[in-house]
Amino acid sequence: MNFVKKTPSCQLFFVKIKQNRLISHTESEADRMEYKFADIEKRWQDYWEDNHTFKTEDDFSKPKFYVLDMFPYPSGSGLHVGHPEGYTATDIVARYKRMNGFNVLHPMGWDAFGLPAEQYAIETGTHPSLTTQNNCDNFRRQIKALGLGYDWDREINTTDPGYFKWTQWIFIRLYNTWFDEELQKGRPIAELDIPAEIKAAGEAAVTEYIVEKRLAYYDDAQVWWCPHCRIVCSNEEVLNDGMHEKCGNPVERKNLKQWMLRIPLYAERLLAGLEKVDWPEGVKDMQRNWIGRSTGAEVDFKVEGANETLRVFTTRPDTLFGATYMVVAPEHPLLDTFATAGQKSTVDAYVAQAGLKSELDRSDLSREKSGVFTGTYAINPVNNAKVPIWVADYVLMGYGTGAIMAVPCHDTRDFEFASAFGLSIPCILDPDTDDKVLREQVIQGLACWIGDGRYINSASEETGLDINGLSKEEGIATCIKWLHQNKLGTEAINYKIRDWLFSRQRYWGEPFPIIHWEDGEITLLEESQLPLQLPELEKYEPGSHGESPLANATEWLHVRDENGRKGKRETNTMPQWAGSCWYYLRYIDPKNDKEPFSKAKENYWLPVDLYVGGAEHAVLHLLYSRFWHKVLFDLGIVSTDEPYTKLFNQGMILAFAYETEAGAKVSSDLVVERDGSFFHTGTGEKLTQIVAKMSKSLKNVVNPDDVVRVFGADSLRLYEMFLGPLDAVKPWVENGVKGVYNFLNRVHRFFADTSHYHEGEEDQELRKSLHATIKKVGGDVEALHFNTAISQMMIFTNLAIKKGKITRTSAEAFIRVLGPFAPHLAEEIWSILGNSGSIAEAPWPPFDESMLQEDSHEYPVMINGKLRFKILLPLNMAEEEIKEQVLSHETAQKWTEGADPKRFIHVPKKIINIVV
RNA sequence: GCGGAUGUGGCGGAAUUGGUAGACGCGCUAGACUUAGGAUCUAGUUCUUUCGAGAGUGGGGGUUCGAGUCCCUUCAUCCGCACCA
């Protein structure tokens, strides 16, 4: 553990290890009563393994509960304490649900394709599968050491050919599916109607038509390329500052043939589905934001002296009267025709310069807007005004039509641009604001107003359109209608979401079941030919120009069909998202080699009832996974429209770190504590304690193995849950583990010692507390409020110890409540109490509401809103009598000075308030 | 700039529909048992205090008999998105 020197727990660490070593050969009475967590945990983990306690049967007669963790990438460095946070939470829920009669599916597996194993192969020549296997073994060992009740018979691994066979199988289905926009549904490509004029144009045209409809297609794409990793990155893997998310080096643009998936076609479905699921609002918003739906209109502008029209997308067709110029993106296909002879060199220079700029520069908001006039004018359809066409890089080719109408007075970007280039800024909307100065400025064209108001200067006799006096909403509707009637434009919806770049130039990923033939034809492998496995390689290095290492696997690469036609296999592999898109489906039938999963099992187990994982997957994994699921749903392969009913994000666990006054971070092994202050061991400089992400460089990573060694798995589990609300970001405070460790010690000392049991009636107060505990813990588990559940169990234990005696019945009930949280200790005590079998299979104890009923209540009495005294009153006492009793109380007399109160408020079972 | 959260003792955090603020735990203080305590047990622990009480949930205002909770306003921190027309 990388604790700061001289903290108590470091010393405790040492003592505990010594103690555990000594235990085995001194079996005195005192030792027998010790909480020997290492022995206990080993014993029960072996028991669970030997007895397959957590094996899930497909017993369709029981109600099901599918609780899923986001499966990890098995990295070389093993688990950190962040992993068990979510895993413990789902384990508690799984055990709780099982005790309540549910057939629970709670599986674990490995998202094992990915760069680190491949990077390691490049450096050492070790095959990635070997590295992967070792890492999985280590992860599995660590997870088992935490007592997590997974059904290991269902373990899956995305790199297993028995798994990725079906990933390839799904890809084939994506390829062979088109999206029927009318029905808003994916359909088999065989059901695609080919229009007569396409058929008439010949086979090539038909093929092209089909290719354009497939959900998966192969095309030239301008992609992000990371020269450091020599890999293509998706938009999502590029950070805002233009750096590669994985390695932190700058990415660049490159043109490559790539596989793409048409996820934007599912935008409406993906949006609609969010309404039905129980997910954190923030995640839903992030997905909505990512999809980026906006409604408006597409408007065609005639171009002076040309046949082409310039089409723009706008969300504000109502502001057409204020459009004083047009802007096209530097990549716009019509730009060449717009550039007049006089402006050509200027335009070319600008486009060249824009092309050189990195995306980072282009998207820097603080940057001054740039652009040049093309020399050509367009005609504003609402008033036939001549408006100049400019080119500027603040307009992006990738959104809308790559061209805009600029309304400087009512759009901040256009306002900035017009201000910079001295273009006119006519106001067409009288702002709805109380700020007189601002309103005047807007009307003068000196300020920009994007809110609501009433139109002015928005009429033309020539075209017959008049929206003066209307509000924004009315204006938009009127203009769209007018555009439609005059065939100048139409209502339109635009999305930010783009086609998903679905290939990587890497070795360690799923190979595409694709052959590119010498004549240009692309074919897919037959299902019987799956899985297409990866070839063995000597070298795993990617080419420096974007080709995958698979391009060197000559024997694997080259194929010939029965007619002697030559072909090459696809050398790209699928991205890491592929395997994680559907793994929740494989768990339900992981060993099926006939189909990805049996329909009957899918029908029973899906959807996932509870899905727990980090917020970092809020958009990508969850959106991609929903997309695939919807395609599978449309094809009748799965029976639900959404895969995950309830989603929960656990908060990140942070750790203390240290920084100098200048803000420089100091590695924890260079920090010493003296009298509550922190100092640099080298320079002696005083340091500030901060909370930061755990990282190798700060040396503040807490390894669960170390915590388990010192305090045991039950303590680790309990502490992870006791730390705070599951969804909160919270710092790991090493001393805190001691609190729950003490609690487990107390539980062990009291409940494992049968001399504390008695045969008679249970103590009233203790029985009431027990039933309150059963109720509270059950409710808290359902609500994922584990921290308060644990504190309730502490309250009960403290009371039981105070009472000194307990009945066996009460103890057995309590131990079953504790079971999901601290399963090893619970099993141990359960067996000491003479029960055979696992406590995991015992029923959750019933609680009796009548035990919680009170016949009297200790009322806090407030006088003028301040608590003055408390009084015990029967609940069935008449209002008048209560008033009399309370007012005659000596403290009440003192504060009221005998006078009649103005008001007397009695809230039954709550409070009494006297107003004087 | 937009969207989402969060703000409570020395610390992590509790507080159904507005109803005893600080549960539970850490830490700390005192005591007991002990060769010892870093084990265990007991008591205490929001702050101020003239020991009557007063103040108190980021700040300011409001509604209410009563506000951590509702409303308005403001500040701070975190996360996500960001020239998306």
Residue A148: closest CA among A48, A43, A39, A38: A48
Closest C1' nucleotide to A494's CA: B84
What average pLDDT is seen over chain A? 88
- DSSP codes joined into one string, A418-441: HHHHT------EEE--S-HHHHHH
- Which residue is listed with tokens 């895969």? A643
Return the SS3 of A436. Answer: helix
For residue A800, give the nearest of A736, A743, A846 by alpha carbon.
Answer: A743
The answer to whether residue A524 sits within a structural domain is: no
**Coil, strand, or helix at residue A141?**
helix
Question: What is the predicted pLDDT for the residue at A675?
Answer: 63
* Structure token digits, residue A527: 């299902």
Q: d(Cα A608, Cα A605) in Å, to the nearest integer?
A: 7
Closest CA to the C1' of B25: that residue is A739
Three-class SS state of A359: helix
Range of the domain at A138: 49-168+577-653
CA–CA gap between residue A379 and residue A389 (Å, rounded): 10
Q: Would residue A76 be called left, alpha or beta, if left means φ above 0 and alpha means ψ between -120 and 50 degrees?
A: alpha
In this structure, are A581 and A649 located in the same domain? yes
How many folded domains does chain A comprise?
4
What pLDDT does A243 receive? 72
Distance between the alpha carbon (CA) of A796 and the C1' atom of B53, Å: 35
SS3 content of chain A, % helix, strand, coil (to 5): 40, 20, 40
Residues A834 and A866 in one domain: no
- A672 sits in which H/E element: strand A671-674
Contact A298, A480 (CB under 8 A): no
Smallest CA–C1' separation from A397, nucleotide: B84
Instruction: Report the protein residue whose CA lies nearest the C1' of nucleotide B54.
Output: A866
Specify whether A466 is located in the same domain as A582: no
Q: What is the 3-state secondary structure (H, E, C) of A22-48?
A: HHCCCCCHHHHCCCCHHHHHHHHHHHH
Q: Is A760 exposed, middle or buried (0-12, 13-18, 19+ CB in 10 A)?
A: exposed
CB A348 within 8 Å of CB A338:
no
Q: What pLDDT is stored for residue A26 in this prediction?
A: 36
Give the model's pLDDT for residue A23. Answer: 32
Written as six digits, the tokens of A84 are 């068990």
* Better-predicted residue by pLDDT, A618 or A686: A618
Continuous segment of H or E residues that includes residue A887: helix A879-887
Straight-line distance from CA A675 to C1' B29, in Å?
Answer: 17
Whether the upstream peptide bond of residue A575 has omega within 30° of 0, thus cis, is no
What percent of chain A stands above pLDDT 70?
93
Q: What is the pLDDT, as a whole number, of residue A24?
A: 32
Q: Same domain, yes or no, for A632 and A609?
A: yes
Name the residue closest to the C1' of B27 by its CA: A735
The answer to whether A459 touches A385, Cβ cutoff 8 Å, is no
Q: Which nucleotide shows the minimum CA-to-C1' distance to residue A740?
A: B25
Domain membership flag for residue A180:
no
Cα(A714)–Cα(A100) distance, rounded to whole angstroms? Answer: 22
Return the closest-CA partner of residue A509 out of A20, A99, A161: A161
Distance (Å) from CA A575 to C1' B2? 31
Length A319 CA → B26 C1' (Å): 62
**Closest Cα partner for A74 from A139, A129, A128, A130?**
A139
What's CA A537's distance to the chain center, in Å? Answer: 35
Residues A77 and A159 grouped into a single domain: yes
In a domain, A434, yes or no: no
Of A155-164, A165-174, A360-369, A422-431, which gets the smallest average pLDDT?
Answer: A360-369
Query: Residue A879 is part of a domain; what is its CATH number?
Result: 3.10.20.590
* Nearest-nucleotide field for A797 (CA, C1'): B24
> Could you tell me the distance in Å between the CA of residue A730 and the C1' of nucleotide B74?
27
Point out the nucleotide closest to A743 (alpha carbon to C1′): B25
Find the range with the poorest average confidence among A178-187, A346-355, A659-668: A659-668
Whether A391 is in a domain gets the answer yes
Q: What is the CA radius of gyration of chain A?
A: 35
Nearest Cα to A692, choosing from A720, A652, A722?
Answer: A652
Give the distance, in angstroms, between residue A866 CA and nucleotide B62 C1'. Answer: 20
Answer with the one of A807, A823, A852 that is the final residue of a domain: A852
Minimum CA–C1' distance nucleotide for A860? B20
Cα gap A377→A277, rounded to integer Å: 50
Three-class DSSP labels, A247-301: CCCECEEEEEEEEEECHHHHHHHHHHHHCCCECCHHHHHHHHHHHCCEEEEEEEE
The protein residue nearest B38 (Cα–C1') is A12
Over residues A185-195, the mean pLDDT reads 95
Structure confidence at residue A9 (pLDDT): 33
* Residue listed under structure tokens 């805002």: A240
Mean pLDDT throughout A853-861?
83
Select the highest-mean-pLDDT range: A10-24, A245-259, A735-749.
Answer: A735-749
Residue of A215 and A33 predicted with greater confidence: A215
Nucleotide nearest to A497 (CA to C1'): B84
The pair of structure tokens assigned to A812 is 């057995």
Say yes or no: A760 and A819 in one domain.
yes
The alpha carbon of residue A619 and the mean position of all alpha carbons in its chain are separated, in whole angstroms, by 6
Say what the pLDDT of residue A892 is.
79
CA of A866 to C1' of B57 (A): 17
CA of A142 to C1' of B85 (A): 52
pLDDT surpassing 90 at residue A195: yes
Instruction: Report how far residue A26's alpha carbon sits from residue A445's, in angstroms, rounded to the nearest whole number.
Output: 91
| Nearest nucleotide relative to A793: CA against C1' | B24
Q: How many other CB atoms sit within 10 Å of the CB of residue A880?
A: 8
Measure, in angstroms, how far nucleotide B80 C1' is from residue A408 CA: 29
Is residue A533 in some structural domain? Answer: no
Count the Cβ atoms, other than its own, within 10 Å of residue A81: 20
Q: Is the confidence at residue A14, as pLDDT, over 60? A: no
A485 and A610 fall within a common domain: no
Check which CATH number belongs to the domain holding A367 and give it.
3.90.740.10
Residue A689 lies in a domain: no
Mean pLDDT of A859-881: 83
Q: Give the pLDDT confidence score for residue A636 in this predicted structure.
A: 97
Domain end among A587, A621, A653: A653
pLDDT digits (tens, 9 = 90+) for A545-583: 777 888 888 889 999 999 999 999 999 999 999 999 999
Q: When comparing pLDDT for A892 and A206, which is higher?
A: A206
Q: Write out the DSSP string of A631-662.
A: HHHHTTSSS-S-SBSBEEEEPPEEEEEEE-TT
Q: Of A360, A73, A114, A135, nearest to A231 (Cα)?
A: A114
Bridge partners, A311 (sequence order): A300
Judge whether A76 and A119 are in contact, CB under 8 Å: no
CA neighbor of A430 nearest in space, from A399, A396, A469, A400: A469
> Mean pLDDT throughout A252-270?
90
Are A305 and A299 within 8 A, CB to CB?
A: no
Tens-digit pLDDT profile for residues A289-343 = 999 999 999 999 999 988 889 999 999 999 999 999 999 999 899 999 999 999 9
Tokens 């789902």 found at? A90
- For residues A672-686, average pLDDT: 75
Based on the fold, state whether residues A735 and A858 are members of the same structural domain: no
Cα-Cα-Cα-Cα dihedral of A16, A20, A22, A27, to 10°?
120
Q: Which residue in A205, A27, A231 sits closest to A118, CA to CA?
A: A231
Residue carrying structure tokens 């508690």: A92
Tokens, residue A689: 């304690």
CATH at residue A796: 1.10.730.10
Counting every residue written for chain A, the total comes to 916
pLDDT confidence bin for A68, thresholds 50/70/90:
very high
Residues A420 and A437 sit within 8 Å (Cβ to Cβ)? no
Domain identity same for A645 and A737: no
Closest nucleotide over all strands to A293 (CA to C1'): B84
- pLDDT, tens only, A79-121: 988 899 999 999 999 999 999 999 999 999 999 998 889 888 8
Q: How far does the CA of A864 sit from the C1' of B19, in Å?
A: 13
- A765 and A894 fall within a common domain: no
- pLDDT of A901: 78
**Separation between the CA of A414 and the C1’ of B84 (whole angstroms):** 14
Residue A562 gets the label, from left (phi > 0), alpha (psi -120 to 50) or beta, of alpha
Question: For position A88, which CATH number holds?
Answer: 3.40.50.620
Residue A244 has pLDDT above 80, yes or no: no
Whole-number Cα distances in Å, A719 to A292, A690, A742? 40, 21, 11
CB atoms within 10 A of CB A180: 16
Q: Of the ranges A100-109, A274-283, A489-498, which is most confident?
A: A100-109
Q: Do both A816 and A886 map to the same domain? A: no
Three-class secondary structure of residue A188 per DSSP? strand
pLDDT beyond 80 at A204 = yes
CA separation for the pair A80, A388 (Å, rounded): 60
Q: How would residue A437 be classed by pLDDT, with cut points 50, 70 and 90?
A: confident
What integer pLDDT is reported at residue A245 of this predicted model? 72
**pLDDT tens-place string over residues A329-368:** 998 999 999 999 999 999 999 998 887 665 555 555 556 7
The whole-number average pLDDT for the span A411-426 is 92
CA distance A525 to A535: 16
Is A10 part of any domain?
no
Q: What average pLDDT does this structure show over A159-174?
A: 97
Nucleotide nearest to A496 (CA to C1'): B84
Alpha helices for A511-649 (secondary structure H): 554-557, 577-580, 583-586, 599-605, 620-634
Q: How would residue A239 be classed by pLDDT, with cut points 50, 70 and 90?
A: low
What span, in angstroms and rounded, lies between the C-alpha atoms of A575 and A164?
Answer: 12
Within a domain: residue A94? yes
Nearest residue to B40 (CA, C1')? A746
The distance (Å) linking the CA of A615 with the C1' of B80 is 10
With beta carbons less than 8 A apart as the criterion, state whether A404 and A327 touch.
yes
Bases of chain B within 7 A of a CB of the protein? 3-5, 11-15, 17, 19-21, 23-27, 38-42, 54-55, 65-67, 78-85
Nearest-angstrom CA–CA distance, A810 and A793: 13
pLDDT in tens, A395-407: 988 899 999 999 9
Instruction: Please report the pLDDT score of residue A32 as a whole number.
Output: 53
Q: Are residues A712 and A626 in the same domain?
A: no
User: Residue A365's pLDDT is what?
Assistant: 52
